[in-house]
Amino acid sequence: MSKQIFGAQMSLRCCGTTSAATAGGSRWQLYVAMSGLVSEWPTFTWPPTAEIPTLEERARALADLGFTLAEGVEWEWTEHAGPDYHPHPARVLMLCSAKVRPLEGGGA
């Protein structure tokens, strides 16, 4: 089993995404923070929706990226105010994060 542990984070992106994605509304995005440029991090973006991706949808997205939750880990939610630089009023943001590890034989 791989001993590498990375941090995955999921958030509802209202003003674009960290990867090239078309406009068309708010969308949930999951990425795995690694070394190197943010633009090179493994990223999964759901179609526009405000519905929170289910645990199963998150697991499939992680697997598509070559990762799975680390042993005994659950997703954790945190809340904070949106950044001041957005072109709309600041609002509360929900972030979901978890420790992940590469899948055995995965491409990550």
Q: Which pLDDT tens digits describe the chain residue by residue (108 residues)?
A: 457 899 999 988 766 555 444 556 778 999 999 988 988 999 999 998 878 999 999 999 999 999 999 999 999 999 877 666 666 665 667 789 999 999 987 554
Residue 56 located in a structural domain = yes
Residue 30 located in a structural domain = yes
Residue 86 located in a structural domain = yes
Please give the backbone phi and psi of residue 14, each rounded to the nearest 5 degrees, phi first. -100, -25
Residue 108 located in a structural domain = no
Residue 45 located in a structural domain = yes
* Residue 17 CA: distances (Å) to CA of 44, 65, 86, 94: 10, 17, 13, 15
Number of structural domains found in the chain: 1
pTM of the model: 0.80
Q: How far apart are CA 89 and CA 10, in angstroms?
A: 21
